[in-house]
Chain A
Amino acid sequence: MNAKLFSEAMSEVNGKYYEEAANYHCKKHGWVKWSAMAACLTVVLFTVFSVIPNYFRQQGTTPPDNPNGVIVDTPTDNPDDVTTPATSEIHISMDNISFNEAGALTDVVRIWRDPELYEHIQWDKDAVIEYYGKDFTPAYIPDGLTAAIGNGTARVVADKSANIVEDTVWLGFYHDYYEDGSPKLTEGVTAHKGFSITVSKIGLLNDCFYILPENEVKTSDIDGTAVTFGYRSMPYGPYDPDTHEPSGYYDM
């Protein structure tokens, strides 16, 4: 077979397929209203769905008398020190965790900052900790995932009065990376395997969710911090010829 035959065949397929393709337009997804959360510290975790439950179940110890997944981090001698997550004890029931199914994760349009009025500042890890009062490195990282280069550092924007106007910090934990440091797609299902954490005290994030229209974004209260958990899956075939229900879903 050659491309010409294929092309001719495409001209012969039933008109209903042409109609469907001509009339299809994506549903208007509601952008997450980040401004509503601007006053509080906002943390977004975007992750392989299968990793999240494992993360919570394996971190610290899960008491055998608490099968619902309460997390107990190992306490340390200095419980008042909140600069590292391993020093605090947090109890979280999985019942209190809300997952948001995301249609897609995409870059929003970046704000253009006039260099006459703003400057970019590179923060090292210490500067990030000084600003946020804590290190966002997870106490537990699932096997097979490694930290991205530059985790914990940030490139922030300040105005000429030294007021921070963009304070986003991103940490990635993926199975592999391309040379430019971006997460590598897996060969099997061409998906990013891992998770990322995006943090902003101002509430201005560089990523946005397409939340599926039937859902509203739900945050989970993690020790006083509003955390938005997002996950995404992609259907795969063969599909039911009548209902078009997929055989299953890939974790994305």
Chain B
Amino acid sequence: MIDDEKIIELFFERSEQAIRELDIKYGKICHNLSYNIVNSKRDTEECVNDAYLGAWNAIPPAHPDPLLSYIVKIVRNISLKIYWRKEAAKRSGHYTIALEEIEACIADQKTVENEIEARELARIIEEFLDTLSGKERVIVMRRYAYADTYADIAKRIGISEKNVSVRLTLIRQKMKEYLIEREVFV
């Protein structure tokens, strides 16, 4: 596998080999993430291909560093669009379960929803992530950014599924308190 910088060079050269190398290196991560959200192989293919096309159109002038999080975020955003569209008709997929967990933590609160934007909330979440241990951060990101199942996380972290569940419960409780302290809830 070639390194990220070489892939970026291929993009800048407008070589279609860039897409192939991107897929070889990060295709599996992108497909897993998208599938966890949209729960459909066909939609996953479309999301990942659209993400590759998005990267093709954006690079250049964009010069993403690191490349992995760049392409993952594109895949995630495209997959979420599909997800919310499908969600209007029918609840499905791993991501629904992950969101239901987090809703239990953040819903039923009177919020300043209209006054806080996703970007601002992201900064608060980043601050919260910085208060966690490395392993806890990975658990949160794998669950709520990559939409992994407990089993996937357990395998990656090297702990039991039950332990993942317990840790996430504790982390969500801490996050709720953190958000209240930062007046995300009023």
Q: List, in ascending order, chain B residues with CB within 8 A of A236's CB.
A: 170
Inter-subunit contact A190/B169 (CB<8 Å): yes
Contact A21 B133 (CB under 8 A): no
Q: List, in ascending order, chain B residues with CB within 8 A of A21's CB.
A: 137-138, 141-142, 145-146
Contact, CB under 8 Å: B130 / A15 = no
Q: Within the complex, what minimum Cβ distance (angstroms) separates B100 from chain A?
A: 8
Q: Is the CB of A9 within 8 A of B72?
A: no
B138 touches A24 (CB 8 A): yes
From B145, B146, B184, A13 is in contact (CB under 8 Å) with: B145
Contacts of B17 in A (CB 8 A): none
Q: A2-B103, A3-B99, A15-B73 known; A27 and B129 CB under 8 Å? A: no
Task: Bits for A91-131, please: 1 = Cβ < 8 Å to B, else 0.
Answer: 00000000000011010000000000000000000000000
Quick one: closest B residue to A21, CB to CB? B141
B61 within 8 A of A: no
Asked if B156 is at the interface of the complex by the 8 Å CB criterion, the answer is yes
Interface status of A178 (Cβ within 8 A of chain B): no
**Which residues of chain A have C-beta atoms less than 8 A from B73's C-beta?**
11, 15, 18
A191, closest chain B residue (CB): B166
Q: Does B12 have its Cβ within 8 Å of any Cβ on chain A?
A: no
A177 proximal to B (CB < 8 A): no
Known: A6-B121, A13-B122, A17-B126. Is A1-B156 also a contact (CB below 8 A)? no
Interface size range on A against B: 35 or more
A5–B109 Cα gap in the complex (Å)? 14
- CB neighbours (8 Å) of B185 from chain A are 1
B interface, how many residues as a size bin? 35 or more
Interfacial chain B residues near A3, Cβ < 8 Å: 99-100, 102-103, 106-107
Given contacts A1-B113, A1-B121, A20-B137, contact A11 B69 (CB under 8 A): no
C-alpha spacing A16/B116, complex, angstroms = 23
Nearest residue in B to A4 (C-beta to C-beta)? B84
Asked if B119 CB lies within 8 Å of chain A CBs, one says yes
Say yes or no: is B111 at the interface (Cβ < 8 Å to chain A): yes
- Chain A interface helix/strand/loop/mixed: mixed
- Is B125 part of the binding interface, using a Cβ–Cβ cutoff of 8 Å? yes
Q: Mark A230-241, 1 if CB is under 8 A from B, else 0.
A: 000001111101
Pair B107/A2 contact, Cβ less than 8 Å: yes
Chain B window 113-124, contacts with chain A (Cβ cutoff 8 Å), 1 for yes, 0 for no: 100101101100
A18 to chain B: which residues have CB within 8 Å? 68-69, 72-73, 141, 145
In angstroms, how far is the closest chain B Cβ from the Cβ of A110? 16
Q: Which residue of B lies closest to A245 (CB)?
A: B133
Q: Taking the complex as formed, is A7 at the interface, i.e. its CB lies under 8 A from any CB of chain B? A: yes
| Contact residues in B for A106 (Cβ distance below 8 Å) | 160
Interface residues of B in 133-152 (CB under 8 A from A): 133-135, 137-138, 141-142, 144-146
Q: B158–A104 contact, CB under 8 A?
A: yes
A100 to B146, CA, bound (A): 34
Q: When chains A and B are docked, how far (Å) is the Cα of A197 from the Cα of B130?
A: 39
Q: Assess the A103–B158 pair: CB atoms within 8 A.
A: yes
Taking A2-B107, A20-B138, A190-B166 as contacts, is the C-beta distance between A11 and B158 under 8 angstroms? no
Which A182-208 residues have C-beta < 8 A from chain B? 185, 190
**Given the contacts A26-B156, A239-B131, A1 and B126 also touching, CB distance less than 8 Å:** no
User: Can you sample 28 A-B contacts with CB below 8 Å?
Assistant: A1-B121, A2-B107, A3-B106, A5-B118, A5-B121, A8-B118, A9-B122, A11-B73, A11-B76, A11-B77, A12-B121, A18-B68, A19-B68, A22-B69, A22-B72, A22-B146, A24-B134, A24-B138, A24-B156, A104-B159, A104-B160, A190-B166, A237-B133, A239-B132, A241-B130, A241-B131, A244-B134, A246-B133
Add 5 more A-B contacts to A9-B121, A20-B141, A185-B166 (CB < 8 A).
A5-B118, A10-B125, A11-B122, A20-B134, A25-B156
